[in-house]
Amino acid sequence: MKRILSLLLLLSWISSCNDSTSPRTFVEMGDSPSAVAIAFRTSLVQGKLGEAKKLGTASTKRVLDHLVISGPLLPDYNVSFIRDSIAQGRAFVVLKEVGGDTLPKIQLIKQDGQWKVDLLATYKKKVLKKEN
Protein backbone atom coordinates (compact mmCIF):
# COMPACT_ATOMS: atom_id res chain seq x y z
CA MET A 1 0.00 0.00 0.00
CA LYS A 2 2.85 2.39 0.87
CA ARG A 3 4.44 1.69 -2.52
CA ILE A 4 1.22 2.55 -4.35
CA LEU A 5 0.75 5.75 -2.36
CA SER A 6 4.41 6.67 -2.96
CA LEU A 7 3.96 6.19 -6.69
CA LEU A 8 0.74 8.23 -6.67
CA LEU A 9 2.42 11.05 -4.79
CA LEU A 10 5.37 10.94 -7.18
CA LEU A 11 3.07 11.10 -10.18
CA SER A 12 1.13 14.01 -8.68
CA TRP A 13 4.43 15.76 -7.99
CA ILE A 14 5.51 15.28 -11.60
CA SER A 15 2.14 16.26 -13.02
CA SER A 16 2.16 19.62 -11.25
CA CYS A 17 4.46 20.75 -14.05
CA ASN A 18 4.17 23.87 -16.13
CA ASP A 19 5.55 24.87 -19.54
CA SER A 20 8.54 27.27 -19.51
CA THR A 21 12.09 27.70 -20.78
CA SER A 22 14.64 24.93 -21.34
CA PRO A 23 16.31 23.56 -18.21
CA ARG A 24 19.99 23.86 -17.45
CA THR A 25 21.97 20.65 -17.24
CA PHE A 26 23.12 19.17 -13.95
CA VAL A 27 26.76 19.90 -14.85
CA GLU A 28 25.99 23.61 -15.34
CA MET A 29 24.38 23.85 -11.89
CA GLY A 30 26.95 22.01 -9.77
CA ASP A 31 26.24 19.45 -7.06
CA SER A 32 24.50 21.43 -4.32
CA PRO A 33 21.28 19.99 -2.86
CA SER A 34 19.23 22.50 -4.86
CA ALA A 35 21.04 21.59 -8.09
CA VAL A 36 20.45 17.89 -7.49
CA ALA A 37 16.77 18.48 -6.68
CA ILE A 38 16.30 20.55 -9.85
CA ALA A 39 18.13 18.02 -12.01
CA PHE A 40 16.11 15.14 -10.49
CA ARG A 41 12.73 16.77 -11.06
CA THR A 42 13.65 17.93 -14.54
CA SER A 43 14.88 14.43 -15.47
CA LEU A 44 11.58 12.93 -14.31
CA VAL A 45 9.48 15.44 -16.21
CA GLN A 46 11.52 14.89 -19.36
CA GLY A 47 11.06 11.12 -19.05
CA LYS A 48 14.75 10.47 -18.36
CA LEU A 49 14.37 7.90 -15.59
CA GLY A 50 17.96 6.68 -15.95
CA GLU A 51 19.26 10.16 -15.16
CA ALA A 52 16.82 10.55 -12.27
CA LYS A 53 17.91 7.22 -10.78
CA LYS A 54 21.54 8.40 -10.72
CA LEU A 55 20.43 11.32 -8.52
CA GLY A 56 18.41 9.24 -6.06
CA THR A 57 19.01 7.00 -3.08
CA ALA A 58 18.63 3.22 -3.35
CA SER A 59 15.02 3.46 -2.13
CA THR A 60 14.30 6.18 -4.70
CA LYS A 61 15.71 3.95 -7.44
CA ARG A 62 13.39 1.14 -6.33
CA VAL A 63 10.37 3.48 -6.54
CA LEU A 64 11.44 4.66 -9.99
CA ASP A 65 11.82 1.04 -11.15
CA HIS A 66 8.03 0.79 -10.85
CA LEU A 67 7.37 3.99 -12.76
CA VAL A 68 6.79 3.85 -16.50
CA ILE A 69 7.21 7.06 -18.47
CA SER A 70 7.23 6.76 -22.23
CA GLY A 71 8.95 9.92 -23.36
CA PRO A 72 8.94 13.46 -22.03
CA LEU A 73 5.90 14.73 -20.19
CA LEU A 74 6.94 18.34 -20.83
CA PRO A 75 10.09 18.78 -22.94
CA ASP A 76 10.36 22.51 -22.17
CA TYR A 77 10.33 22.63 -18.40
CA ASN A 78 12.19 24.63 -15.77
CA VAL A 79 12.06 25.24 -12.05
CA SER A 80 13.81 27.80 -9.92
CA PHE A 81 15.32 27.53 -6.46
CA ILE A 82 13.40 29.14 -3.59
CA ARG A 83 15.22 28.05 -0.42
CA ASP A 84 16.97 25.17 1.28
CA SER A 85 17.85 23.99 4.75
CA ILE A 86 20.96 21.87 5.23
CA ALA A 87 22.01 20.15 8.48
CA GLN A 88 23.73 16.93 9.50
CA GLY A 89 23.84 15.31 6.06
CA ARG A 90 20.21 16.13 5.21
CA ALA A 91 18.82 18.87 3.06
CA PHE A 92 15.33 20.12 2.35
CA VAL A 93 14.86 22.05 -0.89
CA VAL A 94 11.87 24.10 -2.00
CA LEU A 95 11.51 24.76 -5.74
CA LYS A 96 9.08 26.78 -7.79
CA GLU A 97 7.95 26.29 -11.35
CA VAL A 98 9.08 29.23 -13.45
CA GLY A 99 5.90 31.26 -13.79
CA GLY A 100 4.00 28.76 -11.66
CA ASP A 101 3.45 27.31 -8.21
CA THR A 102 5.76 26.41 -5.35
CA LEU A 103 6.41 22.65 -5.35
CA PRO A 104 6.43 20.24 -2.40
CA LYS A 105 9.63 20.23 -0.33
CA ILE A 106 12.23 17.66 -1.49
CA GLN A 107 14.42 15.82 1.00
CA LEU A 108 17.99 14.87 0.09
CA ILE A 109 20.59 12.82 1.93
CA LYS A 110 24.36 13.09 1.56
CA GLN A 111 25.78 9.69 0.64
CA ASP A 112 29.44 9.13 -0.17
CA GLY A 113 29.94 12.88 -0.52
CA GLN A 114 27.06 13.33 -3.00
CA TRP A 115 23.54 14.65 -2.48
CA LYS A 116 20.82 12.13 -3.37
CA VAL A 117 17.06 12.65 -3.55
CA ASP A 118 15.19 10.48 -1.04
CA LEU A 119 11.61 10.19 -2.31
CA LEU A 120 10.49 7.88 0.48
CA ALA A 121 11.69 10.32 3.15
CA THR A 122 10.17 13.19 1.16
CA TYR A 123 6.72 11.59 1.14
CA LYS A 124 6.89 9.42 4.27
CA LYS A 125 4.77 11.75 6.42
CA LYS A 126 2.21 12.26 3.66
CA VAL A 127 1.87 8.50 3.09
CA LEU A 128 1.53 7.75 6.80
CA LYS A 129 -1.12 10.48 7.22
CA LYS A 130 -3.18 9.06 4.34
CA GLU A 131 -3.00 5.53 5.76
CA ASN A 132 -4.31 6.57 9.19
What CATH code is carried by the domain that includes residue 93? 3.10.450
Domain limits for position 106: 2-131
What would the mean pLDDT of 83-91 be, rounded to a whole number? 94
Give the model's pLDDT for residue 35.
94
In this prediction, residue 78 has a pLDDT band, given cuts at 50, 70 and 90, of confident
What would the mean pLDDT of 32-47 be, rounded to a whole number? 91
Q: Exposure string (b/e) for 17-46, b if CB count within 10 Å is 16 or more? A: bbebeebeebeebeebbbbbbbbbbbbbbb
Distance CA 74, CA 44 (A): 10
| Number of separate domains in the chain | 1
Give the model's pLDDT for residue 40.
92
Average pLDDT, the chain: 77
Query: Is 80 exceeded by the pLDDT of residue 16?
Result: no
Distance CA 47, CA 91 (A): 25
Dihedral angle of Cα 29, 34, 38, 44, to the nearest 10 degrees:
130
Distance CA 7, CA 59 (A): 12
